[in-house]
Structure formats: structure tokens, C-alpha cells
Amino acid sequence: MEYRIKDIKLAPQGRLQIEWAEMHMPLVAKLIRERMVKEKPLQGIKIGAVLHVTKETAALMRTLKMAGARVRLAASNPLSTQDDVAAALVEDGIEVCAWRGMSDEEYNKCIDWVASFEPNIVMDDGGDLHAHLHEKRPEVAEKVWGGTEETTTGVIRLRAMEKQGVLKYPAIAVNNAKTKMMFDNRYGTGQSAIDGVIRATNILIAGKVVVVAGYGWVGRGIAMRAKGMGARRVIVTEVDPLRALEAVMDGYDVMPMIKAAEVGDIFITATGDKAVIRKEHIERMKDGAILANAGHFNVEIWIPDLEALAVSKRKIRPHVTEYKLRDGRRIYLLAEGRLVNLVAAEGHPSEVMDMSFANQALSVEYLVKNRGKLKPALYSVPPEIDSKVAELKLKAMGIEIDKLTPEQKKYLESWQV
Amino acid sequence: MEYRIKDIKLAPQGRLQIEWAEMHMPLVAKLIRERMVKEKPLQGIKIGAVLHVTKETAALMRTLKMAGARVRLAASNPLSTQDDVAAALVEDGIEVCAWRGMSDEEYNKCIDWVASFEPNIVMDDGGDLHAHLHEKRPEVAEKVWGGTEETTTGVIRLRAMEKQGVLKYPAIAVNNAKTKMMFDNRYGTGQSAIDGVIRATNILIAGKVVVVAGYGWVGRGIAMRAKGMGARRVIVTEVDPLRALEAVMDGYDVMPMIKAAEVGDIFITATGDKAVIRKEHIERMKDGAILANAGHFNVEIWIPDLEALAVSKRKIRPHVTEYKLRDGRRIYLLAEGRLVNLVAAEGHPSEVMDMSFANQALSVEYLVKNRGKLKPALYSVPPEIDSKVAELKLKAMGIEIDKLTPEQKKYLESWQV
Amino acid sequence: MEYRIKDIKLAPQGRLQIEWAEMHMPLVAKLIRERMVKEKPLQGIKIGAVLHVTKETAALMRTLKMAGARVRLAASNPLSTQDDVAAALVEDGIEVCAWRGMSDEEYNKCIDWVASFEPNIVMDDGGDLHAHLHEKRPEVAEKVWGGTEETTTGVIRLRAMEKQGVLKYPAIAVNNAKTKMMFDNRYGTGQSAIDGVIRATNILIAGKVVVVAGYGWVGRGIAMRAKGMGARRVIVTEVDPLRALEAVMDGYDVMPMIKAAEVGDIFITATGDKAVIRKEHIERMKDGAILANAGHFNVEIWIPDLEALAVSKRKIRPHVTEYKLRDGRRIYLLAEGRLVNLVAAEGHPSEVMDMSFANQALSVEYLVKNRGKLKPALYSVPPEIDSKVAELKLKAMGIEIDKLTPEQKKYLESWQV
Amino acid sequence: MEYRIKDIKLAPQGRLQIEWAEMHMPLVAKLIRERMVKEKPLQGIKIGAVLHVTKETAALMRTLKMAGARVRLAASNPLSTQDDVAAALVEDGIEVCAWRGMSDEEYNKCIDWVASFEPNIVMDDGGDLHAHLHEKRPEVAEKVWGGTEETTTGVIRLRAMEKQGVLKYPAIAVNNAKTKMMFDNRYGTGQSAIDGVIRATNILIAGKVVVVAGYGWVGRGIAMRAKGMGARRVIVTEVDPLRALEAVMDGYDVMPMIKAAEVGDIFITATGDKAVIRKEHIERMKDGAILANAGHFNVEIWIPDLEALAVSKRKIRPHVTEYKLRDGRRIYLLAEGRLVNLVAAEGHPSEVMDMSFANQALSVEYLVKNRGKLKPALYSVPPEIDSKVAELKLKAMGIEIDKLTPEQKKYLESWQV
């Protein structure tokens, strides 16, 4: 068995972490696992995965292995590996190439090591494995039965390959599953972004004016939770009139950032665009304004403008940088404008990853079952998997739903042309 | 000028009603009207409409006329005409054939009278005009430039015609516009269904257990408002696991009706299905349970079961029927199981109809502009109209939104493959 | 048996009304009644009551009678009597002197007729009976064992008598019971004021800016419900900094009326003060602003200012008066500035009156039990009655609470000095 | 200048901390400070304080010093001192005797050192200084002009002294100020308890069943925030029927703990009583149940019962202890049953301490101004101070309130008897 990790002796600590995660991942670590242990749907299948090596990923890897697969795992980011978890995985017989603080070269070597495994199924988070296979290991890519992709970025890269006609295997965009987006963005980031702001600053949300830039799923989640924590006013900024109107009807104030800038105490960006908060806005802000970002890239708060406006800058708390403006006003940037929920808090709760990874596990099984039947193309998660994940989640929560009677089914069908 | 209405002397009272509606319909009665009065985009166009003759419809008809059109209007339901409004419309030079309490024969005659107008554009609510034109007046239908349809039912009928290849003109399904559904179903019915329950019963919502059957747009609106009025517990019943899970994450309890039946104080159905509340549920309900329906047809609460279980029945308040069961328990049915917001309250607020009718007005203009360019088929409201309606609504509310800078636009486009 | 009512033949209709009320008054019409029917704590006691003759009062009167009392009832307002209910009460053996539309002279005669009954216990709503007894029938007042008072106004009058040393019997201020105020003001008026605005106008609350003047119990209830119905912004105006701060922390905007006037769509006053909305505010309002009052007297919206500013005035809907200002703006006053929940809706739900009247019934029993032990003075409802009412209400709702163990009791007591 | 602290070189880091706190303490560190710097109301006054030596206390001490006072400060808990803050205070000329991890003997010595200062005014948090003065330094206590007390515990001790007739100076119970309780308990602990649970566990609140024991101010705050973070059901347990009923009317489920135990995912106690969660409850809990305490003492969750039921126990995350029961179920205790918001999160936000300490500062000024006029007794914070604090807080937030006109004042007075 091959592996390269920081220190195998960290395994006991990693095991505790995985246990805690699995406790809150009843789909991946219980319902799906128990079935797969019995059915062994992945017996002998080689899976190559490039994912964040975290306690939640560990739960997924362990389930795939218990389903019969041989699994090789590399890190999808040089900085995100939990070394103790990596150690525990190795003890569990999963080959891992990942440690926190690896160099770019080491990072790429690990990916190539996964490719060299000649996997039947590939799993990726960001598209680096997919790209590597197509560019550096085309002979391996040819033989891959299918792949999955966890993120928007990866999906965009796969779509480009598909468009150019070079995609060599069917790939499933787990990212777009309803049961992923619903949890990840609205409820997961909604909670963890507010959590990140509180951990970074320890301020009281009650009584504050919170400005949320963007009313997509993430923005909705944040607005909802900001109100829920007692913000006296939640202001949404939007560029799309339909979303803006929905925000209004959901009970929020809507105005352009240029006006919101003057009244906000806390600003959280979640637009997917750049420079959402920039010079003209910063100039109008109140002394003490707090800026945080919950969007993927650290471009939503335009830091060059902040730097240009500031006469001095210092770190006042671990994740709080103070920028002092010419007129004495102080602006506080959290987490250097990077994802506040990841940097200042712990990122998504395990429950959220459970939904996402349940889609992963079932998509892998689907690709195995449908080997040879799917053309190389980008696919959505099959609706029956999406629905199954919801069903399992409800089951795990002990929640029953209603069933249609035969008469009701007939009635509904009579409406369909 | 032809017309047939109850009494032209009712016009002054109708005028007051229309004024009140127009006050709350800033899109149809102000922003769109003012532009159309200037541009006259419907100059000389003949419009034949079969719609509920209400104060809100009046606002729409008046705008179309001010835009240059010649308008002929018949009732889309024998019972829904507001006679005073009809009178005011006639005074305004709109030809109307509608009075409350018309017979089926008279109803059909009025529709034929609209058809005989040989309209360029037709507007319908339920599909009776579309069907009449295709079945009884094919020579007129041939010459129609295009039509609109307000309701789900009408859209289903048009889709059937399209599928059978008999549809003779392009038709726009106004029903599916986001700016209609969002208002109509979620916010409109959400408020008015609760309003209907309160008017019918005068009970206190605070402290009650409210059961909402169905978590579509209507169910969401009702659940949200029931919680907002202080229900101590809102229980949602669903057959779809994804919707059920969303309800759970939105903060509601989910369980099958058979269990909800035992704890609910107030039940409101909004599923689109039949027999959602039936024998087995009624048998388990508490003494005093209140049943109301907010779905389109009065089949969601299965009245035959209620009748069969009851040993006596009487009307205890105008919209409340008491069914006494064998064991003495009393079940209260509101509005005879018909739409509680229409029967026991006033139906949709004018603001809601404004959104819907703004889509109508702009869709009519679109059909005129694109005369001859659209094949006979069923179309969605063009997204730019949907978006325009949202934009106008925000403007009417005095709400500004943000604008993308050129750099932001470029950045977003760089993400699109 | 003596009585003077409109028409005894209305009794069947009145009986239905009473049944509906009693269905939602489980304390007065079930739990307390059942015990009193057994124990007959009021056997032979003469009760003289001056109350609004409504279906809820009927439930209370019937319970007192079933408890053994002889009851004589007069109207506490010439306009509030439900004639059918009065008829049903007479059929039930309760002496009534009340009909809708009685003259002031007739009104006073009925009160004197109650006094002439030489009641042991008196119950009043507004203080007219207490005043009449002390001023016109001192010889009867001397012999009264005790009385109750339902309203703030009545309590103020009694307090004045107490202060002047003229009060002749112990009187209990039911008005101040926690279980009355909590329901009446916060939840009862909260719901019914919003209900009144919707019934009067049929406007959509979602997306509106609602201004609530005053953050006492009533204002709190209205603010909570306005937000719950989807208002995009609820603004509270206050003169007391503590209350203002609490409103802010509860998630509302706070500003002076002079600023709120410019942004509000709907204004609801609940301050207990006069001229809360006056010239300077009206001058700044938006076209279409809606004004409603939920305070006791119709002085909160200063109508003389509205009249002075208007160039014309007309009734546009049953409870909506339009005032047109010089510059064309239109201001809409609901219910002529009187209590919008009483005039435009049905007033308090029966559940609310149940709490209040449970306090009444138990206070009457308390006065009988403690005959001769209480000095002539104004008393609060004994805390054990207040607590009992809460306990019974929970029981009626099927809700259990926790019990202290002996160890817990001891622990808590160890903290008390 | 005397002092005893850990290390004066920690001052720069302490200064940053104090700056951050003062940024969010606009009352103590800005509005009140600026006035006191001008007026010097404490010129030459000796203040002896025994308080938690935190960044917020530092803000208060600095203000008192700038007001002219000579300040001596000791720690009110051997474990709560922030050593860097202590160092910064010494640099600012405040005498401090405090370091984290002092022994009990050292703790008492520091208190005596404060007493030996012969302070004019004393400030205490817990009552140790008051007790020490009365028991060990009566000659000093005799000369004290007055004192303040921050906590419930301290107030109970002072009340006992007052009752026994031994209290030697007037003492103000800052703890009972409305502007303290409102912030501290409802909003402060409400937010920070939920924050503590999330930091300790990183679980998703959305979709969970949260059980809150006790519906006092703390319980209200926690219930409100749990709902606000998306709990699908918030269950309140109570022993007092009035509070239980209020919880029901506020939209929560109420039931005895014995039933809640079976359905809860997360339990948070806030009753002030002991053994609120005990054997009989733990036996019924679901696998994975999480227990946290937000009450003052770690007796609400009865740990002996948990220990007795468990077959094994281990720490699975820093603030999470897993107890495994005989049947395999796992129960997770947070922060060893101690205050979850203090142990697992950062305790009260600075904004909350600002309100409390504004009451402290103004109470000290009041005691100085009223020197000799107040008998030795326990006093509430004067209502005008409470109101002033609210007024200043609103000012600091940029919020204006309304003012009564002379006519309105007269009208209100006419109602007062």
C-alpha cells in the first residue's frame, strides 16, 4: 500500500474527528454505507479522488471502500489537508497523498500519482484531476468510465472541454444537485458566514444594520440568518430586478450599494462578481464598518481600493485588519477578504457535506452501473438520485412524508398533457 | 357601441372601485399606461378579452384602450362580475357583455359576441375563449395575431391544442411569468388565505397548530404567513421529498397527514391534488378542527367523506359549516371547501393583479409588434418582459437597484463558456 | 323575569353565535363552567353586570348562572349590543336590558335597572355602573360585596374614587391581569389591527413600509404581525428611550414620526396619546398613505389637521375615507380614526375574551368567598388567579408543563433571602 | 504606583484588545467619557474595584480615571484575567492586582489590597469585596460612600446583609437595570449561547429540534436565536404557567422535559435551577443528543446522573465530552456543563458590556453626587440613569426618537390620578 502523509501517528486524533463527522453524516456514514456494505456495488472498482482531505471526505472514502472499491486520494488544495484525518485514512487502508503545506510541485505529483492508478472512476473538486488526465495522461483518461465534480469552477472547466469536443468520459456535475445547492449555499453558508463574522469580531448582531450584496442562494441564506440573529435592518443589494423584487417581498430593504454604504454596520458580499465593494462605497462608510466576503474568490471586496484609501493598516484581531482612512474613519476587513466562513469559522457543518457527498457516492455507483451507456458529456445528477438523497435525509432525521394514493396519482396524471 | 350589463347607473360606484384599484396598480394604471398613452402601440388594434370583470381588470382594459385599442370584454365566470365596474367600463367606451348571475347560455353568448368582433388579439382566463374560437369560430381564429392566457387551466388546454397540432395562433402563457407566480401564489394567496380563515372564523392564530398541505408556491406563502401570525407550530405535509426537506430546513415540521390530523387546529390545503384530507384523516381530528382549501378546485378536502362521517350538518357562520361526527366531535369546513381566499375574503390584492396584468399588457404589445413572426405555439412570457415588470414594480415602490460596471460585466462574461 | 331587548325571535341566530364563541372559549365555557356547575360557588348570589352584550359576554353570563347566580345584564355601550345574542340570553333565563341603537336616556335607565336589582356583586366595563351606584344609588353601593372592572378607563375612574376616599366596596381591576393584557393587547390587537387594515383596504402587506406609533403591548403586537405578514420594513416611533431601544433590539427601525412620515405606506397608532399623527407629519406623507388607529380613543390621528389640509374628502370604500391635499396627494383614513380592529374587523377573537372573562369569573368567585374580608379599595387580580388562568389555558390547549422536584424547590428557596 | 500583574511587556497586545472593545463601547468609551473628561465628576475620588479584568472592564476603568478618579482594580475571578489587558491598564496609570491563574490566597490578598486603599466608592462583581470589607475591614467599610454590584449573586449577598441590618453603605444593584438585563440576558446570552454551541460542535442548526429549558430573559433570547438560525422546532420547558403560556403565544412548542427529551437534538438549559436535565431525561434521549448549559452554575445538567448512566466517556472535541450509554447511545455534553457561551465562545460582546458598564459609571457618579444622602441600603439603579443609558445607546447608534409636544404631555397627565 502506497501513501505519503505527514505522520501516521496522528491517526488516533484523526479517528476522533472522523467519528464526530460520521455522527452528523447519517447518509454517507450510515444509510448509504449500510446498504453498500451489503451489496458491494463497487467491488474491485478503482476510484481516484482529488478532494479536500477533511473529516467529511474521510467518511465518504471509507464508505466507498466498504462498498468494495480500491481508493486512492490526493489533496485538492495544498493548504486544506487535516493531517490527522489523512493518517487515520491510511490506517483504514485508503491510499493517501496529502499533507498540509505541500508545495505546488508536490501537489501536482500527488495528482499524477492518482492518475497513475488508472482509476475506473474519478472524483474531483475544482477540476485539476480532470484537466491533468486530459492533458497529461490521455491514455488513462480514455479508459476512465466516468467522473464526478464537486464545484462550480470544476464544472465550468468540464463544460469548456465538452464544448471543445475533447471530453473523454461522462462526468456528473454534483455541484448542481438540488440537495447540494440547497444545503451548501443557503443553509450551510448562511449559518457559517454569520458564524465567521461573530467569531472574527465577537460583535452583537442584534441592533445592527447588515448589508448583504447579492440575493442568490448564498445571499438569501445570509440575509435570513442575519435577520434571525436580530439585525434591525437587513439591506440587500442586487443588479437583477427579479431577485431584487424577491428580496423586497421577503421582507428586506433593497438599495444600491452606494446608499447602503452610508448606513451599514456589517457588509457581507455574495455575488460571484468582483469589486462589489470599492472606492466609492468605502468612502461613504461609517467609522467602524466591518467588511466580510462569502463569495468564492477574494475579489468581491476590492482590496486595492481599500489599500489606496488607507493611511495605515494593522491586524487588530486574528482575522480582523483595520484600515485607517485619511479622515480617521476605521474600516475593518475580515479574513483578508477571503471566504469568511472558511477562514474565520470551520466552514460547512458535516450535515451539509453529508448531502453533497451522498450525491457523490450515489453518482459513483450510477456511473459504475451505467458503464458504457453514457456518452462523454457533462451530466446533471440524475433527478432520482437527487430525490433519493432528500428521501434518505428525511429518513435520517426521522421524518416521514405523505404518499399518494392510486386515486390521487390518477388525478394528477389526468392533468398532464 | 354595443354592451350588455346589469345597470349603467351603477357606474359612479364602479368608478370609485376602479380608482382604489388603480391607486394600488402603479404598473398597469400609471407607468405602463403613461408610456402607452404617448406611444399608442395598440392604435386601431381590436382586442377581445374574456376575463373576470373586476376593478383590477378594469384598470387593464382602460390602459389597453388608452394605448389605442378597441376593446371588447366578456366575463370569464358567470358569478364573478362586479356590476358597478362593468357599468363604469361602458361609460369609458369599452364594450362589455357581463353581469353577475348570468346563465350558462348567456355566458356562452357573450363569449361568441367577443369572437364575432374578429379580434386581432385575444386575452383569456381559463381557456373558454381559445376553445370557442378553435371549435366554433375557426375562420376567426385563423386571423387572430396572437393570444394570452392567465391561468394554469387555460395553459393546460392550450398545450393540449398545441400537441394535437390544431393551435391556430401564437399564445403566451402569462400564468408562468415569474413576476406573476411570485406574487400571485406566494405573497398573494399566502396573505389572502390566512385572511380568509380569519374573516370566516375570527379565531386567533397565535398559539394554534396550523397544518399546510403542499409546499408549492401557495403552500410556502401560507406556511410563512401562518408562522408570521404567531402559529405555535406550522406543520407541512408533502409527497415530494425535495419539497419536504426544504420545508424542514425552512423551519417547519413535516409529517404525513395521518399524523398531522391528530394535532392540527387549522388545516389548509394547497396541493393541486384531490382527497388530501379524507376519511382516515377526519376520523383522527380534534374536536373543533377547522378545514380550509386554498387550491384551485374544491376537491382537496374530500367532502363526500365528511358528509358520510357526519350525523348532522349546519351553517354556524356565513362561511362556516359544522359537521358533527358520531362521537360528538365537530369539524368546521370553511367556504364549502372552495378557495377560502376568494369566498371568505376579497381574493388577490390589487398589487398582485397589477403584476399579472402588467405581464398581460406587455405581452399584448409584444404580440402586436411581432405579428407574423411567431409560429402558432404556446410561448412563455419573454424573460425581458418578466424582468421589465420587476423593474417597473421596483420603480413604483421607489426602490433602486445596483448596476454592473463595465469591468464587472466583463468579469462575469469571462466565466461563461 | 324582566327584560328589554330588540326581539326574542332572534334567539336561534344568537344561539349559533354563542355556540361558536363557546367553542373557542374553553376556560369560561368548559373548564371553569364544569367545575362551577358542580360546586355552585355563586348559589343565590345576585350579580349586576354592565358589559358589551356580545357572544363572548353571553358565554360568561351563562357560566355565572350555571354557577348558581341570578344575573342581570345591561349594555355598556348603546351601539355594541348583538340583538340576537341578547335574545338567546333571555331564553336562557338571564335578565337583559340592551338593544343596539338605544338612546342615552334608555342606556342610563338600563344601568339603573341593574342597580335596582341590589346586586351582591357588580361587573363593569368602563365604570358607568360603578359611578352610577356611588352617585345615584349610594344605599345600594353600601351593600355591594365587591365589583370587577374590565377596562383601563374604568380602573382610572375607580382609582380616583379610591383616592378621594369615597369607594364603597372592594373592586378588582381585571384589566391589569397578566393573562388579560398579554392576550388582549399583544396577541389580540396585534392580529386584529392588521386584520382590520386588510379588510378595510384589501392591500398586500408584503413589500410595504409599516409605521407603528408606540411600542407598548399593543404596538409590539402590531409590529410583530406586520413583520409576519411580510412588511419589508417596520418602523417604530416612540418617546420613551427604553422602549425605543427594545424595539431596535427586536429588529425594527426606530425614528421620529417626522421622518417616518416620508417613507411609510401604512401608519398604525397605538400610543394612548393624542395628535401622534398631525399636520407636520401629514404634509410629508407619500401619495396614497394609509392611516389607521389601534389606540382606545380616536385622537391619535389628529383629524382636525387632516380636515384642514384637505381640499376634498370622500368615502371610497366602506371604511376608507380619502382626503385629497392641495398638491394632489391622497391620504386614506381608515375607520374615521377609531379603533380599526373593532370598526373594520370583528374585534378580539373569542380566545382573547376567554382569558379576560376567565379572570372575571374567578374574580367574582373570589369576591364572594372573601365577602367582608376586603376593605373598600382597588385590588389587582390575585396572582394565583392570574396563574390559574394561564394553567387552565394551557390545559385547554392540551399543553403540559414541567413540575419542580422537591430537591429543585429546596434549591430555589436556598437562593431567597 | 503599586501593581502586581503577569508581565508589563504584554501591554501593546492589550492595547489592541482595548481599542477593539472601545470601538464597540460607544457609551463608556465615548459619550460618557467625553462628558466626564470635561466635567471631572470623580476628581480625586478613590475607587476600589473587584471586577473581571477584561478588555471591556479596561474601557470602564480608563473612563473613571479620565473622570478624575484614582482607581485600584483586582480580579473578581482567579481565572478570568486577560494578562495583556492588565498590562495595558498599568501603563495607563491604573493600579492592578490580577493575573490569570492566581491562587486563592493571592486572590484574597489582592482584594484586601483594594480594601487597604480606603476607597470612597467600591465596585464589585460577585460580592467578594463587599463581604471582605464588612467582615475583615469594618473600619474601612464605615467610611465607604457607596458601592455597586454587577451580578445576581452579589445582589443576593448584599440583600442578606441589608436584612440582617449590617450593611454599612448604600449599594446599587446594577444587575437589575433594565438596560443591563435587556442586553445581557436576552440579546447577549441569546446570541452567545448559540454561538457557543456552534463553535463547540460545528453542527448545522437548520432542521434541528432545539429544546430550551426555562423561559426567563435568557431562555427567551436563546429560543429566539435558535429559531432565527433555522431550528425546525424550538421546544420550551417551563414550570411557571404564565411563562409557559407566553412561550406558546410567541410561537414555540411547550412540553415537559420528559417528553422533550425524546425528540430534541440540542438541549440548552437556562432556568437558574438544578438537575433540570437528569437521569429520567437522559435515558429517553436520542443517540447523538447534545447538552449545553447557559445558566450561571453548572448544576442544571445533572452530571452525576450522566456519569452514572455512562459506560465510557471521552473528549471528542475541545469542548465536547462524549458519554456512551449502556445501549450504545451517545450523549454529548458541551463545556462540561458550564456556561457554554463563556467556555466555548467569547462571552458577551463588548456592546453588551457597554450597557452594563454605562450603568456602572453613572451609578458611581450618582453615589458621589449623593454622598451622605443615601442610607445604607440596597438600591436599584435610579430610573433616570436607566433611561439615560438607553438614550445614549440610541444616540450612539444614530437613532432619534420622538418628543412629546406640550399638548401631548398635558393630555397624558390628565389621565393620571
Residue that is written with C-alpha cell 399566502 in the block: B190
* pLDDT by 10s per residue, chain B, length 417: 899 999 999 999 999 999 999 999 999 999 999 999 999 999 999 999 999 999 999 999 999 999 999 999 999 998 889 999 999 999 999 999 999 999 999 999 999 999 999 999 999 999 999 999 999 999 999 999 999 999 888 999 999 999 999 999 999 999 989 999 878 888 999 999 999 999 999 999 999 999 999 999 999 999 999 999 999 999 999 999 999 999 999 899 999 999 999 999 999 999 989 999 999 999 999 999 999 999 988 999 999 999 999 999 999 999 999 999 999 999 999 999 999 998 999 888 999 999 999 999 999 999 999 999 999 999 999 999 999 999 999 999 999 999 999 999 999 888 776
The grid coordinates listed for A309 are: 484609501
Q: Measure in Å the smallest separation between the Cα of D234 and chain B Cα atoms.
A: 9
Q: Which one of C203, C314, C349 has the shortest CB-CB distance to B203?
A: C349
Task: Return the pLDDT at D246.
Answer: 93
Query: Hey, what domains does chain C have and what are their CATH numbers?
Result: 8-180+348-397 (3.40.50.1480), 187-343 (3.40.50.720)
Task: Return the pLDDT at D296.
Answer: 83
Task: Return the pLDDT at A417.
Answer: 61
CB count in 10 Å sphere of residue D137: 18
Whether D338 contacts D298, CB under 8 Å: yes
Query: What tens digit of pLDDT does each residue of C59-107 get?
Result: 999 999 999 999 999 999 988 899 999 999 999 999 999 999 999 999 9
Q: Measure in Å the smallest separation between the Cα of C221 and chain B Cα atoms.
A: 10
Q: How far apart are CA C171 and CA C158, in angstroms?
A: 8
Q: Which of D23, C222, C227 is nearest to A227 (CA)?
A: C227
Query: What tens digit of pLDDT does each residue of C23-62 get?
Result: 999 999 999 999 999 999 999 999 999 999 999 999 999 9
First to last CA, chain C: 58
Q: Can you point out the beta strands (E) in C58-174?
A: 70-75, 95-97, 121-124, 146-149, 171-173
Contacts of A250 in chain C (CB under 8 A): 230
**Residues 6+ away with beta carbon under 8 Å from C60:** C28, C51, C357, C360, C361
Task: Return the pLDDT at C185.
Answer: 86
CB contact under 8 A, D402 and C187: no
Task: Return the pLDDT at D417.
Answer: 61
Locate the chain A residue with the closest alpha carbon to B246.
A182
Interhelix angle B128-136/B152-163, nearest 10 degrees: 30
- Chain C interface, mutation test: which of B204, B393, B397, most C Cβ atoms within 10 Å? B204
Asked whether residue A66 carries a pLDDT value surpassing 90, the answer given is: yes
Measured in residues, chain C has a length of 417
Locate the chain A residue with the closest alpha carbon to C252.
A232
Task: Return the pLDDT at A145.
Answer: 98
The values of phi and psi at residue B321, to 5°, are -110, 130
Asked whether residue D54 carries a pLDDT value surpassing 80, the answer given is: yes
CB count in 10 Å sphere of residue A315: 11
- Chain B interface, mutation test: which of C18, C179, C198, most B Cβ atoms within 10 Å? C198
Q: Which one of B237, B401, B404 has the shortest CB-CB distance to A241?
A: B401
Query: What tens digit of pLDDT does each residue of A325-370 get?
Result: 999 999 999 999 999 998 999 888 999 999 999 999 999 999 999 9
Query: What tens digit of pLDDT does each residue of C235-265 get?
Result: 999 999 999 999 999 999 999 999 999 999 9
- Quick one: how far is CA D98 from the chain centroid? 19
Query: What tens digit of pLDDT does each residue of A253-282 get?
Result: 999 999 999 999 999 999 989 999 999 999
Residue pairs spanning B and D at CB distance below 8 A? 31
Asked whether residue C113 carries a pLDDT value surpassing 80, the answer given is: yes
Q: Which one of D230, D232, D248 has the shortest CB-CB distance to B253?
A: D232
CB contact under 8 A, D253 and B231: no
Interhelix angle C350-369/C55-66, nearest 10 degrees: 30
CA-to-CA separations, B124 to A355, B150, C193, C402, in angstroms, rounded? 44, 6, 38, 60
Q: Measure in Å the smallest separation between the Cα of B71 and chain A Cα atoms.
A: 31
| Angle, vertex CA C123, rays to CA C118 and CA C127, nearest 5 | 100
CA-to-CA separations, A146 to A157, A161, A367, B366, in angstroms, rounded? 16, 14, 6, 46
What are chain B's partners, defined as 3 or more CB pairs within 8 angstroms? A, C, D
Task: Return the pLDDT at A1.
Answer: 87
Q: How far apart are CA C211 and CA A151, in angstroms?
A: 45
Task: Return the pLDDT at C417.
Answer: 60
Task: Return the pLDDT at A243.
Answer: 96
Locate the chain A residue with the closest alpha carbon to D25.
A203
Contacts of C253 in chain A (CB under 8 A): 232-233
Task: Return the pLDDT at D39.
Answer: 98
Asked whether residue C416 carries a pLDDT value surpassing 80, the answer given is: no
Q: How far apart are CA C305 and CA C281, in angstroms?
A: 10
Whether A77 contacts A11, CB under 8 Å: no
The values of phi and psi at residue B128, to 5°, are -65, -40
**One-letter identity of residue D229:** M
Sign, Cα dihedral of D70, D76, D78, D80: negative
Task: Return the pLDDT at A287.
Answer: 96
Interface of C with A (CB under 8 A): 206-207, 227, 230-233, 248-253
Burial zone of C105 (CB within 10 Å; 0-12 exposed, 13-18 middle, 19+ buried): exposed
Task: Return the pLDDT at B41.
Answer: 98
Q: Which one of A187, A228, A320 has the shortest CB-CB distance to D204?
A: A187
Residue pairs spanning C and D at CB distance below 8 A? 139
What are chain C's partners, defined as 3 or more CB pairs within 8 angstroms? A, B, D
What are chain D's partners, defined as 3 or more CB pairs within 8 angstroms? A, B, C
CB contact under 8 A, B253 and D233: yes
Whether B76 contacts B126, CB under 8 Å: yes
- Chain A interface, mutation test: which of C233, C236, C238, C255, most A Cβ atoms within 10 Å? C233
Number of H helices, E strands in chain C: 19, 15
Residue that is written with C-alpha cell 484600515 in the block: A323
CB contact under 8 A, B23 and C330: yes
pLDDT averaged over every residue in chain C: 95
Interface of C with B (CB under 8 A): 16, 19-20, 23-24, 183, 187-188, 190-191, 195, 198-199, 202-207, 224-225, 227-230, 288, 314, 316-317, 320, 330, 345-346, 349-352, 397
Locate the chain C residue with the closest alpha carbon to B352.
C204
Q: Measure in Å the smallest separation between the Cα of B264 and chain D Cα atoms.
A: 13
Query: What tens digit of pLDDT does each residue of D70-126 get?
Result: 999 999 998 889 999 999 999 999 999 999 999 999 999 999 999 999 999 999 999
Task: Return the pLDDT at B417.
Answer: 61
- Map residue D264 onto helix, strand or coil: coil
Contacts of C202 in chain B (CB under 8 A): 345-346, 349-350
pLDDT band at C328 (very low <50, low <70, confident <90, very high): very high
Strand C95-97 relative to strand C70-75, pairing: parallel
Contacts of A253 in chain C (CB under 8 A): 232-233
CB contact under 8 A, B16 and C316: yes
Q: How far apart are CA A394 and CA A403, in angstroms?
A: 14
CB contact under 8 A, D245 and C394: yes
Query: What tens digit of pLDDT does each residue of A362-386 get?
Result: 999 999 999 999 999 999 999 999 9
Q: Measure in Å the smallest separation between the Cα of C251 and chain A Cα atoms.
A: 4
**One-letter identity of residue D57:** T
